[in-house]
Amino acid sequence: MPGEFDVRSESVPGGATIVRVAGEVDLATTPRLEEALAGVDSEVVVMDLSHCTFLDSAGIRTLVGAARRLSDAGRSLRIVSVDPGIIRLLEITAVDTLIAVHPSLDDAL
């Protein structure tokens, strides 16, 4: 199903954690995303939205909240996305000024 939500995290060499998100990030799915982020203790967290098909205001709130919590702890959040619609949403909401947005995992790491 194209909009089915899934979130998985994996540690990579160098100490970063990649949080891979697939499907729609909305009011119904953000609690699962927040739960996944709460379990990450890496200095660098990369949110891979390469397979994200939809992002609403609840998802934006979750991203901004996570970025602030990580920053307050001396850690960082980075976003990976190539979807023009999601990138445009991040630009319109100025999230891209708070969180670095990268076109690939290699660039984010």
Query: What domains are there in the chain, each with its CATH number?
Result: 6-108 (3.30.750.24)
Q: Answer yes or no: pTM beyond 0.75.
A: yes
Provide the pLDDT for residue 32. 96
Give 1-17 pLDDT, tens digit per residue. Answer: 456 899 999 999 989 99
Q: Which of 94, 78, 79, 86 is nearest to 52 (CA)?
A: 86
Give the other-Cβ count within 10 Å of 23's Cβ: 17
Provide the pLDDT for residue 74. 96
In eight-state DSSP terms, residue 96 is G
> Is there a contact between 33 and 21 (Cβ–Cβ < 8 Å)?
yes
Provide the pLDDT for residue 52. 96
Give 51-99 pLDDT, tens digit per residue. Answer: 999 999 999 999 999 999 999 999 999 999 999 999 999 999 999 999 9
- What are the C-alpha distances in Å from 45 to residues 88, 91, 92? 22, 20, 23
